Structure 1
């Protein structure tokens, strides 16, 4: 994707029903994620090349916060050399509450619950320790498709109309085996994506032992963490779905006096794919020398006289 000429972009104005921090994502003409930012002000400038851009604007509150506003999605046509004005309205959101049960009618703790709107927007959450969930920030007056899944089972998706305030609770039952899932001793397991590589020191001669390797998504949330072995090798992930816009952060290990960091941005991984990042060389950041402090007292030697003892 070529850089945008000066003056080309989207001047986005946010109209919020109540104060909140908004998260804006924009998708390019090729369907790839172009960027992600948090917006505090009423207006923001998104510098993008010419083309058709899809913007997703959502309240950055947690998906189970009843005060969360409904998201907005808009398509903007950007002309070369022009700054296109766009406006997104974040209206009061509707709420869905419910519970997820297993086939044996026991509570399903930490199950994934997802609601998809007619415009393709998604809101996800997990059940708590009692199997109860809250999906907030849904569009009022629309019908959403609600589904739930655990590690091995899934529920039959149901249509629901979120209301404000929340209406009667839904009950989703995990009575069907998850498509493609396999228990130990069954069929071949489903393997997710992962990334591997080798970390060397700044000189490129020594393997960086016990260096911390973190994998973060486009929002900066931590997905996985690991450490390198004695040869500097690492494999991070292993259960990742297909995703793009990932960032790998490598921090030097405990053998180094000063912690250095390397960021590998714009990575992508497919389901069941092992992506080789090759050799990652630590970059020694420039550091300013510490100024001398003449005000510190200097060490002095003083004679210590002990009282004599007569025997």
Structure 2
């Protein structure tokens, strides 16, 4: 039972590949390595180097590898940068998804797990986000993920009476952190954990943007979820699709309670053994006090749970990052 993971050489994708293999499924990866790393793909897992925009390549891979389903993780994931590069964002995330769907249809592959994003909600005016919370994305990245969900849903309707009707689900989540394997770590130059780690390694003081929010400690409250939990939910979703079990069109992989930025900073100091007092910088425009999602539906259907404490999340991320430094020296 083979599953294609687009973007499987990236931080999240590589964890999904490992989770698939651990569940007895056979992963194959397609990745252009624009932000992924060939070294993140385990030995023995086929790596097809190329873009999801290359329709013949995607279709040939689906046929040659006898793929049963696709976990579509590939995309341009930088919300802030997407404001400066909207055309690139839409090409990778919207056109890329369309091409994947077209190739799947041609190859008769009818199961799809879409790695969406909580960015589809924008800055909701509710404390706890549910799947039905109105979608008001505030960046081209969030917009592109929402359009991707629409494309997939429309293709599901269009193929309902065909020999291979598309079965699909979209998984939405906020801040993915930690590491489930010291060989894989978050290399994004825009995410909180790498930013804090790189600052500390360079002898700089990490920053907190605003400490006067309406939260218990004055700093933003957000969902932080461990990458291994995210990967496990993707695998269960794939298994439900392949087994013909009922599945919702979308799930929020939320923490229910969230963590503050200061709680993260305190945990970083504990994990790294580097004492520091974060520099407090001015608020960033548009940053809401709190955005946290419920994971009740995912807990019901996808065995979703937050299995890691904040210290375990930070420690696993730090050990993987430190291991990368050791390997490079």
Q: Larger % of helix: which?
A: 2
TM-score bin, normalised by smaller chain:
under 0.3
Larger Rg: 1
Q: TM-score, normalised by structure 1?
A: 0.26
Query: Which fold has the larger relative contact order, with Cα–Cα distance below 8 Å and residues 6 or more apart in sequence?
Result: 2
Q: TM-score, normalised by structure 2?
A: 0.25
